[in-house]
Amino acid sequence: MITTVNIEEFLTLSKTSPVFDVRTPLEFEQGHIPNAFNLPIFSNEGRIKIGTTYKQIGREEAILQGFELVGSEWANFIKTVKSTTNSKKILIHCWRGGMRSNAMAWAMSFYGFEVYLLKGGYKAYRNWVLQSFKYKLNIRIIGGLTGSGKTEILQEIKNQHGQIIDLENLAQHQGSAFGSMNKLTQPTQEQFENNLAFEISLLQKEQIIWFEDESITIGKRVIPVDLWEQMRIADLKIVEIPKLDRVNALVASYGQLDPEFLIACTQKIGKRLGPKLTQETIVAIQNKDLVAFVENVLYYYDKTYHTGLIKKKDRAQVLYSFDNYNASQIAKFLLQEINKNGRN
């Protein structure tokens, strides 16, 4: 049995049944529904050949060529699905809900699977993703100077049953010149948006959702404008902890990284640090004096953050100072403050 469903029904079904994306590996890599499995009916090269035939000769010849390219692979498609799931109910889509997904759905249905096809294909999903950023969210922002442990506080809010969106985790970047940590690989912009929309869909939108204070770009990824416009006017909760705690946290984090990576990142912000401080910072790295390195870098980041706060003076801001850093206790405090009257 084959049933065509709209994007809302498809996503509801995807919570309990596997999604198979029959587009090429290249298309899948560019962007896909989170948790979907790639079951490409054509290779990257094969799709190009068929597309060329379709344009130069016609639809019927392209279909014949498609069957020739797939050949005996139909049995392997079925075996792959069987090895992936024990469910007899599966979801399938291609780019626009056309020939690729219909052909795969026919084969799977003929074998005995209960198949649900996405009307409009992945294109419909992308429209849903972009539309989701327009929905009104009840946002609170955690701010604070670099090294204030905002990401850890965010995770502790989640551990204490608050709602969060961790943009840096989704973007796989820590939002600074050193943000890749010499190991993180950012998703494509398209996949970043897909993952972000998926995370938002899991939350209760009328209840408070915590974000970390970010610029519109996180590494090379860009926060969708409709969401960013909500973030930039949301209430800002600024966490202030002793500078020594900040320095120690950054030394522990950056101390594990390759000195050459630290030097390269320092050079990226060299114009803002100035030639003298840049050179002093590089020497500190070479001498393994990480405290001096962090303090020099914080001079730049603290100045930048305070300048940014001035630009945010038209939005509600509350500063909370803590004598020492304890992510769990700070998260508990913030949640209690919010719960006092529901508006903090």
Query: Which residue in 118, 131, 108, 101 sits closest to 10, CA to CA?
Result: 118
147 in Cβ contact with 247 (< 8 Å): yes
Cα–Cα distance, 154 to 92 (Å, whole number): 35
Which CATH code for domain 136-341?
3.40.50
pLDDT in tens, 94-143: 999 988 999 999 999 999 999 999 999 999 999 999 999 999 999 999 99
Where in the chain is CATH 3.40.250.10? 2-130
Does residue 206 have a pLDDT over 90? Answer: yes
Domain 2-130 -> CATH class: alpha beta
| pTM of the model as a whole | 0.92
For 58-67, 157-166, 188-197, which range has the lowest pLDDT when averaged over its residues?
A: 58-67
CATH 3.40.50 domain residues, the chain:
136-341
Distances (CA, A) of 185 to 132, 192, 224, 225, 269: 25, 12, 20, 23, 21
Tokens of 221: 């990824």
Q: Which amino acid is at 287?
A: N
254: Cα separation from own chain's centroid: 23
Closest CA to 188 of 265, 129, 264: 129
Residue 88 DSSP one-character state:
S
Confidence class of residue 20 from pLDDT cuts 50, 70 and 90?
very high
Mean pLDDT computed over 50-75:
77
Q: What is the pLDDT of residues 322-341, one digit of tens each?
A: 999 999 999 999 999 988 75
Which amino acid is present at 53? T
Q: Mean pLDDT, to the nearest integer, of 263-291?
A: 93
Per-residue pLDDT, averaged over 271-281, amounts to 92
Residue 56, Cβ neighbours under 10 Å: how many?
9
Q: What confidence score (pLDDT) does residue 341 get?
A: 59
Of residues 70, 71, 53, the one with CA closest to residue 62 = 53
What is d(CA 126, CA 32) in angstroms, rounded to the nearest whole number? Answer: 9
Burial class (CB in 10 A: 0-12, 13-18, 19+), 157: buried
Which of 182, 249, 245, 192 is closest to 218 using CA atoms?
192
Q: Could you give the residue numbers annotated as active site? A: 94
**Between these two residues, 54 and 20, which has the higher pLDDT value?**
20
